[in-house]
């Protein structure tokens, strides 16, 4: 499990906003500015423990959800991009010939990938999907 300690900034029933603090390992990491661009990160979490503002809590993300979300957000659009580029190239060459077929295949793949990315983003930000991928407060410290 991916565990982090955080402080509750806002609490609204079964949802909360927490402030994640950088760990000491993050300070020495050369890629820290990518995943922690500022000193503190604010994250919306599920609050089944009933934590209130100001409490220190342990927040957990299940590894399987982390991998599933990564594949859904990154893997699916890239797979669609590659598949549509290959299919578009074959179709364009067959219908119109070789000139500029790579360019048209690239643009059609980009367009389809953008559509898939928009659909995935919309799916994730809808009710149940949004809740399923949220970190959860598992302990009040």
Q: pLDDT tens for residues 78-113?
A: 899 999 999 999 998 998 888 888 899 999 999 999
pLDDT for position 138: 83
| Pick from 134, 117, 129: nearest CA to 73 | 117
**Sign of the torsion formed by the C-alpha atoms of 93, 95, 97 and 103:** negative
Q: Do 51 and 76 share a domain, yes or no?
A: no
Torsion 87-90-95-97 (CA) sign: positive
Residue 4, phi then psi, degrees to nearest 5: -140, 150
Q: Are residues 33 and 9 in the same domain?
A: yes
pLDDT at 23 over 70: no
Amino acid 84: pLDDT: 92
**For residues 125 and 72, is the Cβ–Cβ distance under 8 A?**
no
Query: In this structure, are 57 and 73 located in the same domain?
Result: no
Pair 54, 92 in one domain? no
With CA atoms as reference, report the closest residue to 114 among 83, 80, 89, 91. Answer: 80
Retrieve residue 112's tokens.
Answer: 């389809």
Provide the 8-state DSSP code for 75: I
Residue 82: predicted pLDDT: 93
CATH of the domain at 28: 2.30.30
For residue 134, pLDDT beyond 50 = yes
Averaged pLDDT score across all residues of the chain? 79
- Residues 80 and 103 both lie in one domain: yes
Half-sphere exposure of 38 (CA within 13 A, CB side): 5
What are the pLDDT digits (tens) for 31-56? 555 455 555 567 788 888 888 888 88
pLDDT score recorded for residue 17: 87
Domain region containing 18: 2-61+135-140
Kindly state the tokens that stand for 23: 């760990």
Shared domain check, 126 and 71: yes
Total tally of structural domains belonging to the chain: 2
User: Alpha-carbon distance 135 to 26, whole Å?
Assistant: 20
């Amino acid at each position: 499990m991916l565990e982090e300690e955080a402080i509750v900034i806002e609490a609204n029933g079964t949802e909360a906003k927490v402030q994640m603090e950088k760990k000491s390992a993050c300070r020495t990491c050369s890629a820290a500015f990518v995943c922690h661009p500022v000193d503190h990160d604010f994250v919306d979490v599920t609050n089944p423990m009933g934590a209130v503002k100001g409490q220190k809590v342990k927040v957990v993300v299940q590894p399987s959800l982390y991998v599933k979300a990564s594949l859904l957000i990154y893997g699916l659009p890239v797979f669609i991009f590659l598949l549509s580029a290959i299919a578009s190239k074959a179709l364009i060459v067959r219908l119109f010939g070789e000139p500029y077929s790579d360019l048209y295949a690239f643009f059609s793949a980009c367009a389809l990938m953008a559509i898939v990315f928009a659909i995935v983003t919309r799916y994730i930000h809808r009710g149940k999907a949004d809740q399923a991928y949220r970190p959860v407060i598992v302990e009040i410290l």
